[in-house]
Amino acid sequence: MPSTPSSRATLLHAYEEQLRTHTELGSFPHRWQQGPLWIGADPAAGLGFITHRQLPRYLDPTPLIQGALRSLTQDPSITEIEWKTRGHDVNQFLPGALEALGFVRQDPETVMAGSTSSVIACAPELPSEYAIEQMNSFEDITQAMVVSSQVFEMDTPESLGIAARLAKGCAQGELEVWAVRHLSSGDIVCVGRVEFVEGTSFAGVWGGGCLEAHRGQGLYRALTATRAARAEARSHALLYADCTEFSRPILQKSGLVPITTTTPYFWRR
């Protein structure tokens, strides 16, 4: 898909219509709609999540935030709540209202999107000393998460907890974990997953990271193309990702374009 204003507008419209709904709550066991808000809760993980489409420009969002907090915090096991905002939202009162009620602003990320065919077409040739593999067993996924923890500087218990959730998602067909292995050493050096958003044109590419010693060889881009091919095989024609300033140039080389930004706000008990 060409990187033009019209294509960005088309991608943003699809993102707004298909992803800013209950589909964002796919991993939460408890989900409900509360007015214009979609709310998810995972008591076992202590997590709550709130998303929504556009709020009216001049609406005071304070009552909505208070109501969502009441709904989630009545369960004492919920200790952390994320409210996800977007840069193209027209309501300018939301950030201030969130902070006034105890939410803390995090660093913004860029939302990237594009067609799977564009990403596949941008695939680089994988160097012969590497191979791309699907991580199927819990042991493989755990090994991949150890690499991810090194890239993103996560604690080992946190990465193991994520591995357990990913293994469950893989078993249910909701996602796949892929990795690049260095053949001579046998080590996994680059990892990432693709999550299939049921009922939409989208699949998300998440958790992509490459060990520093193996960067600059196109491994991450090759892994992204593989995940795009898997999404296409599952009838998802579009990819999206939230990315930092460091991964944005790589994803742009992979055929994705920036369509908006997202800034999370966190409330913690």
Q: Kindly report, residue by residue over 143-185, the tens digit of the pLDDT.
A: 998 898 888 876 655 667 788 889 989 999 999 999 999 999 9
Please list the alpha-helical segments (H only) found in the chain: 5-19, 62-73, 94-100, 116-121, 138-152, 156-171, 219-233, 248-253
Q: Kindly report, residue by residue over 63-76, the tens digit of the pLDDT.
A: 999 999 999 999 99
Dihedral (C-alpha) 158, 162, 164, 168: value to the nearest 10 degrees?
Answer: 160
The mean-pLDDT minimum among 79-93, 94-108, 155-169, 231-245 falls in 155-169
Alpha-carbon distance of 13 to 29, in angstroms, equals 28
* pTM for the whole structure: 0.90
Can you tell me the mean pLDDT for 99-111? 97
Task: Determine the length of the chain.
Answer: 269
Say whether both 33 and 139 belong to one domain: no
Say whether both 177 and 201 belong to one domain: yes
Say whether both 91 and 125 belong to one domain: no
Say whether both 76 and 169 belong to one domain: no
Say whether both 136 and 232 belong to one domain: yes
The reply to whether 266 falls in a domain is no
Can you tell me the mean pLDDT for 176-196? 96
Say whether both 22 and 134 belong to one domain: no
The domain of 55 spans: 5-108
The first and second tokens of residue 237, run together, are: 């024609």
Which pLDDT score, from 0 to 100, does residue 157 have? 55
Measured on CA atoms in the order 88, 89, 92, 98, is the torsion positive or negative? negative
Which of 213, 147, 206, 153 is closest to 176 using CA atoms?
206
Say whether both 53 and 160 belong to one domain: no
Which pLDDT score, from 0 to 100, does residue 72 have? 98
227 pLDDT higher than 80 = yes
Give the chain's domain count: 2
The reply to whether 269 falls in a domain is no
Say whether both 87 and 119 belong to one domain: no
